[in-house]
């Protein structure tokens, strides 16, 4: 930074504090206590880490008191620094929640003789779940009111609602801490009373056997939170029988019910391989069977309808996956037959089975396409979505005996929609388009798809939206968002909260960087392990492209990412801090090396194939070269807002806390560095329908103010 800019920044920061009506709050400075993490790699802020035992203790010990005080000091400092934008923050929050319809309901779907749906009502943060027997016009039955469950709780998550096959018992999971450790509860839907049965430390997922008394569930390890065991529970007893234990710590397990409702699949998965076991729903006490033994680099998942198994697989050098089938009783790979072959330019992502149709969800040139295949004559056609960039996918379709496909659709300008499509007549019926209040008109906005050239010549797609009337002269502020990990694609779906930026003259853009799967499996492979740097350089190249094309300009560019996208934020500001005016790092995964070295931390062991195993020098050195915490330098950084949750189970709070402490110690500028720590929430933030937007309002106001916009 030039000296004149440095002086101006310094004077501005002084002025902000001078104008505050609150007493100045001391800048939090974390004590340095050297700790050898591994191979003489010293971590001065390792002491900020607390164990679950320390966090849950009735009386915090000395270290816990010290850590909690430091985190609270950070929160107080953030409040003081951002005091001048309190009014604007409230205004933005009111705008965001004001666009949300308070009395709203989902589109009902039919399952096992009942129509299921949920409703939100004004004044409540959580949904109420309902059903109607036999007809959408039948009397309404409340099956679960989450608002009552959440009463008196700072955090409440309800997951895994599952009704027994005789329609009498509801199983559901509750988490009041935000550590993803759910307790499964049982509610008698005929009497409205809870059964005494409770199952603790689960993923919340449960599948009923045909007898209506036996339930299969996934156990979660108390320390690592790994989902590694399948148990069977008999209602009315203390009987919890181990069905399957996954001994390989790099794998986790989950359950799946077949489309035919005849089988339960036990899926063991890790980054590079999967293995499926199965049992008949009508025979809950029978032995489970192996579908196909695991092999390195073989990923597959299975479904069933009629008398056939359908397998999505990357076998036979099919990185973009293909669809195969095999008859019942012949699950060995030698019996599998191709029905949708592998294609090098099409990523086969998902499928849905109907009695007379097969629906394939495919990603072509970065966009999701739905292909309808008629079983009788193998004729096929694609749905036409009519927009340049969008998000679409198969929705809830519980009944296979239908010609109606329900799918979801939205774009950067089109609100979330639920659409029923007649696969025979090709007629579409919009069952619901999200109502956006506050005078929203999608015709006031425009979106397009751009292509930015990365440093190695790779063309990276960028989705962009702005309010009509936008002038491409480099004077508009722009927020660039990306994720870019785990092969997870970032689609250009509708985000009503973004309107608070667009209506103030911002441009919003999504960089579909390598590490996701937008352009196919190779896109993912080219942004992981020893190619992870591509994710970061892609983002910076997209940012520079948007500046060069005058969608924004120097001093007006902002960046945002969360979780693994927060790692992306940490990396880009170490690489090119001068490119950004401000950066929002939400629950950021920034201490990559330490976390990947510690097998007791949730997610570590089965992510070695994503990031690398740092116990091996090649990976250790490579990860160290980009790990944001390790690469903090004595340079000028952009304005930074960092968020985290004290109970975060996916990115532990101490990662962003240590990163902020180190940045404070080393950075050479006077730009803002603030951290918001939610002391009662985890990775997903607050659990309420509206409360979660308080952090969104804080994030948006942070960059609105930096852009010089005061209203």
Active site residues: 563, 648, 683
Q: Are 373 and 387 in contact (CB under 8 A)?
A: no
Q: Are 682 and 180 in contact (CB under 8 A)?
A: yes
Give the helix/strand (H/E) hosting 11: helix 3-19
How many angstroms separate the CA atoms of 309 and 337, rounded?
11
Neighbours of 426 (CB within 10 A): 11
Three-point CA angle 114, 115, 116, nearest 5°: 110
Give the helix/strand (H/E) hosting 104: strand 104-105
Tokens of 611: 């990031």
Nearest alpha carbon to residue 333 among 350, 357, 311, 356: 311
How many angstroms separate the CA atoms of 16 and 84, rounded?
7
Nearest alpha carbon to residue 592 among 608, 577, 576: 608
Strand order in the sheet with 380-382: 346-353, 357-364, 367-374, 380-382
Give the helix/strand (H/E) hosting 394: strand 391-394
How many angstroms separate the CA atoms of 667 and 681, rounded?
29
Neighbours of 442 (CB within 10 A): 15
Q: What are the residues whose beta carbons fall under 8 Å from the beta carbon of 471, sequence distance 6 or more? A: none
Q: Are 321 and 348 in contact (CB under 8 A)?
A: yes
Rg (CA), the chain: 26
Three-point CA angle 99, 105, 107, nearest 5°: 120
Q: Are 51 and 64 in contact (CB under 8 A)?
A: no
- CB-facing half-sphere around the CA of 593: CA atoms within 13 A: 26
How many angstroms separate the CA atoms of 303 and 311, rounded?
7
Instruction: State how far the alpha carbon of 247 is from the alpha carbons of 228, 243, 250, 562, in Å.
Output: 8, 13, 9, 31
How many angstroms separate the CA atoms of 199 and 217, rounded?
9
By three-state DSSP, how is residue 595 classified? Answer: helix
By three-state DSSP, how is residue 154 classified? Answer: coil
How many angstroms separate the CA atoms of 433 and 494, rounded?
11
Strand partners, 460: 452
How many angstroms separate the CA atoms of 647 and 411, rounded?
33
Tokens of 551: 């969608």
Q: What are the residues whose beta carbons fall under 8 Å from the beta carbon of 206, sequence distance 6 or more? A: 160, 162, 171, 173, 184, 215, 216, 217, 255
Give the 3-state DSSP-derived string for 401-418, with helices as H, strands as E and coil as C. CCCEEEEEEECCCCCCEE
Neighbours of 275 (CB within 10 A): 22
Nearest alpha carbon to residue 361 among 489, 189, 197, 200: 489
Q: Are 418 and 432 in contact (CB under 8 A)?
A: yes
Q: Are 232 and 218 in contact (CB under 8 A)?
A: no
Q: What are the residues whose beta carbons fall under 8 Å from the beta carbon of 262, sequence distance 6 or more? A: 280, 281, 282, 304
How many angstroms separate the CA atoms of 687 and 155, rounded?
6
């Amino acid at each position: 930074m030039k000296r004149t800019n440095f002086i101006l920044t310094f004077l501005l920061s002084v002025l902000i504090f001078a104008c505050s009506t609150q007493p100045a709050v001391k800048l939090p400075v974390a004590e340095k206590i050297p700790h050898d993490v591994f191979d003489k790699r010293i971590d001065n802020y390792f002491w900020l880490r607390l164990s679950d035992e320390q966090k849950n203790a009735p009386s915090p010990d000395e270290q816990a008191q010290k850590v909690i005080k430091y985190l609270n000091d950070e929160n107080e400092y953030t409040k003081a620094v951002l005091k001048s934008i309190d009014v604007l923050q409230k205004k933005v929050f009111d705008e965001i929640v004001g666009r949300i319809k308070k009395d709203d309901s989902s589109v009902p779907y039919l399952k096992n003789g009942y129509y299921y749906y949920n409703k939100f009502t004004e004044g409540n943060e959580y949904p109420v779940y309902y059903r109607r027997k036999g007809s959408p016009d039948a009397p309404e039955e409340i099956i679960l009111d989450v608002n009552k469950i959440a009463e008196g709780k700072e955090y409440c998550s309800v997951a895994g609602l599952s009704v027994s096959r005789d329609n009498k018992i509801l199983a559901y999971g509750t988490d009041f801490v935000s550590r993803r450790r759910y307790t499964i509860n049982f509610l008698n839907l005929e009497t409205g009373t809870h059964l005494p049965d409770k199952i603790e430390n689960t993923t919340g997922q449960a599948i009923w056997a045909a007898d209506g008394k036996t339930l299969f569930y996934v156990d979660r390890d108390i320390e690592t939170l790994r989902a590694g065991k399948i148990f069977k529970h008999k209602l009315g007893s203390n009987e919890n029988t181990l069905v399957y234990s996954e001994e390989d710590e790099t794998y986790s397990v989950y359950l799946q019910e077949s489309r035919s409702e005849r089988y339960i699949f036990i899926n063991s998965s890790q980054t590079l391989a999967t293995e499926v076991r199965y049992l008949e729903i009508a025979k809950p006490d029978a032995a489970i069977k192996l579908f196909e033994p695991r092999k390195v680099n073989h990923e597959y998942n299975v479904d069933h309808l009629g008398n056939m198994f359908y397998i999505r697989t990357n076998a036979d050098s099919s990185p973009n996956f293909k669809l195969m089938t095999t008859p019942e009783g012949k699950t060995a790979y030698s019996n599998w037959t191709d029905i949708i072959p592998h294609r090098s330019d099409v990523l086969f992502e998902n499928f849905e089975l109907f009695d007379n149709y097969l629906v394939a969800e495919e990603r072509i040139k970065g966009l999701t396409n739905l292909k309808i295949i008629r079983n009788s004559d193998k004729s096929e056609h694609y749905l036409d979505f009519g927009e340049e960039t969008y998000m679409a996918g198969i929705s809830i379709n519980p009944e296979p005996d239908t010609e109606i496909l329900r799918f979801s659709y939205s774009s950067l300008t089109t609100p979330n929609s639920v659409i029923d499509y007649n696969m025979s007549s090709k007629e579409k019926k919009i069952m619901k388009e999200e109502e956006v209040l506050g005078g929203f008109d999608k015709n006031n906005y425009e979106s397009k798809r751009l292509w930015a050239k990365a440093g190695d010549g790779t063309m990276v797609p960028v989705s962009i939206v702005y309010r009509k009337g936008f002038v491409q002269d480099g004077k508009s502020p722009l927020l660039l968002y990306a994720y870019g990990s785990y092969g997870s694609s970032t689609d250009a779906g509708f985000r009503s909260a973004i309107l608070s930026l667009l209506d103030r003259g911002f441009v919003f853009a999504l960089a579909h960087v390598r590490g996701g799967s937008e352009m196919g499996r190779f896109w993912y492979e080219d942004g992981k392990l020893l190619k992870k740097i591509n994710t970061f350089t892609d983002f910076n190249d997209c940012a520079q492209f948007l500046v060069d094309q005058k969608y924004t300009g120097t001093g007006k560019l902002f960046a945002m990412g969360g979780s693994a996208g927060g790692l992306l934020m940490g990396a880009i500001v170490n690489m090119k801090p001068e490119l950004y005016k401000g950066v929002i790092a939400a629950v950021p995964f920034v201490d990559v090396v330490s976390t990947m070295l510690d097998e007791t931390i949730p997610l570590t062991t089965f992510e070695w194939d994503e990031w690398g195993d740092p116990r091996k020098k090649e990976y250790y050195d490579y990860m160290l070269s980009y790990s944001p915490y390790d690469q903090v330098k004595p340079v000028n950084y952009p304005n930074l807002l960092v968020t985290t949750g004290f109970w975060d189970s996916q990115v532990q709070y101490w990662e962003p806390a240590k990163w902020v402490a180190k940045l404070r110690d080393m950075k050479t500028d006077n730009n803002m560095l603030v951290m918001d720590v939610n002391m009662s929430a985890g990775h997903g933030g607050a659990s309420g329908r509206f409360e979660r937007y308080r952090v969104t309002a804080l994030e948006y106001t942070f960059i609105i103010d930096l852009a010089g916009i005061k209203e």
